[in-house]
Amino acid sequence: MNKKLKLLTLSTLLAVTVSGVGCSLFEKDIEEPDPIPRIESPETSIEEDRAAQEFIKNYFVDLFSKSAEEYTKNFIEGSIPNDPNDPNSLAKHIATRTLEEGDGNPEVGIHFPRIVEFGGLAMLDYKVMRDNGGNPMIDASYIGKTGDSFLYYVKVDVKATGLPINLFYKYYEQDENTLIFSQKSEFGEEDIGNDEKQLLNNRKELLDKLVAEKDYSERNNIRQKIREIEEKLNFDEIKVQLKYDVEIVREGNAYKVLTQKEVAYKPSFKNRKFILNNEFIDRLPYLDVNIQDENNIFQQEQKVIQDFFNDLLKLDRERMALLRNEWEVSLGRFERFLETVGINTNLYILEEETYKDRFSILAFPLQAGLLRLTGYENINVTVHPGYSKNNKVYFVKASAIGESATGIIASETLKSSGVIEGEDIYSYDYVVRLDYNNERNLAVSSIKLDEFLKIN
């Protein structure tokens, strides 16, 4: 009996123990592992997209801090500039993979600024434009994710400095092996004048010094001297938009450029050697009236053109006949007659060899059959697409009120007899060019009448 009681007691204790352990196991909270933190990207976050855009803008500002000629060696070798003393060093923006795998290979996916023929110029230097707030005019649009990288379509608005094509081929030569153009070191006696030759030699010396200079504050001084020489050599400036596909990757907490390539059908190194390869470039209007400084220029030049045409209202049919004769005789006689009738010749740039072509007597507003122009309804001035820093060209569309005559001679007394037909509206389409005269004042350098119509 005692034996059975002991067994029963032991069984009861075991049951209670197991039951207690089981309850404690089921009641205990299970600890969950910490969630993996979500890494935001341009694909998932507006803030990250903005951060990526800001990075891309800073990258292109640094990329275009040097001219195409300063990048010549990098372009040929595919070497990425990596001077720690350079405040605009490109390498700090470049992905580790690109530096390790592509640096020193001409096919590296970083497309440096290069010499390109476009818009009548061989473009040699590019400066990123800024808006009224001082912000770089660079638009980066997110396209999508490709593997671990994020693809952006980037448009960079720049002012491009270069030489008119005829001067470029006069001053530059192409290396037979690399096919890359560089400024000539020597010129034949018959090629250019001594003053021109001296300026070019000085520019060449400064350019070589610029590339070798390690003091980056001194580099800016050298660049300024080069710009001053280029002004004297008739270097021109246009506005263009450059388009690139840019892949960026995340390295730690920062973005880096994996590739930055021209948007072109044939973007390979071999094809980028050809200066006519310009698919990635669009022309922009040189004067943007939304930018205050440029709007001021437009207003000033528009006034010169409007004053020029308003002055010509002083010519009636009789004076026009006299002017035509003086125009045929000589520049001096032509200029004196304009002054005699009260026309401001300071608004004209007149040269003996060219005045008959640039100011054709047939282009003056008082056309055959008109007695006089009594006024303009409007003179609309718009910037020509070919406008550049040195080529100030405008479209001018004017509507004028004119009196026409049917007789050989007409006067006010003939109106009642019907000899004078009365007033009509006439439309004029001109191309007008401006330049600076010897006193550095703006004046009209040529007019071309494209169309003249009687409206009613």
Q: What is the rounded CA–CA span in Å between residue 118 and residue 242?
A: 12
3 state DSSP class of 75: helix
Which amino acid is present at 221?
N
Q: How confident is the model at residue 34 (pLDDT cuts 50, 70, 90)?
A: low
In this predicted model, which residue has the larger pLDDT, 409 or 124? 124
In whole angstroms, how far apart are CA 103 and each of 22, 88, 208, 394, 412? 65, 18, 23, 47, 83
The CA–CA distances, whole Å, from 383 to 182, 235, 436 equal 33, 21, 17
Rounded-to-10 torsion of CA 364, 369, 374, 376: -50
Instruction: Tell me the DSSP string of 402-443.
Output: EEEESSSS--GGGTTTTSEEEEEEEEEEEEEEEEE-TTS-EE
Global confidence as pTM: 0.84
Give the model's pLDDT for residue 10. Answer: 45
pLDDT at 385 (0 to 100): 94
Report the C-alpha gap between 342 and 331 in whole angstroms.
17
Helix ranges restricted to H, 213-312: 216-232, 269-272, 292-311
Percent of the chain with pLDDT over 90: 79
> What CA–CA distance (Å, rounded) separates 64 from 90?
10
Query: CA angle, 306 as apex, 303 and 307 as ends, to 5°?
Result: 85
What is the pLDDT confidence band of residue 39, given thresholds at 50, 70 and 90? low
Q: Could you tell me the end-to-end alpha-carbon distance of the chain, in angstroms, rounded to an integer?
A: 138
- Average pLDDT in the chain: 90
Q: Which of 9-18, 103-112, 240-249, 378-387 has the lowest mean pLDDT?
A: 9-18
Q: Which residue has the higher pLDDT, 399 or 185?
A: 399
**Helix (H) or strand (E) segment spanning residue 323:** helix 317-329
Per-residue model confidence as pLDDT tens digits over 190-207:
778 899 999 999 999 999
Whole-angstrom Cα distance, residue 456 to residue 449? Answer: 20
Identity of the residue numbered 45: S
pLDDT in tens, 351-402: 999 999 999 999 999 999 999 999 999 999 999 999 999 999 999 999 999 9
* pLDDT given at position 16: 44
Task: State how far the Cα of 181 lies from the Cα of 115, in Å rounded to an integer.
Answer: 8
Is pLDDT of 419 > 60?
no
Is the pLDDT score of 421 beyond 80?
A: no
Using pLDDT thresholds of 50, 70 and 90, give the confidence band for residue 1.
Answer: very low
Q: 259-297 pLDDT, tens per residue?
A: 999 999 888 999 999 999 999 999 999 999 888 999 999
Average pLDDT over residues 128-141: 95
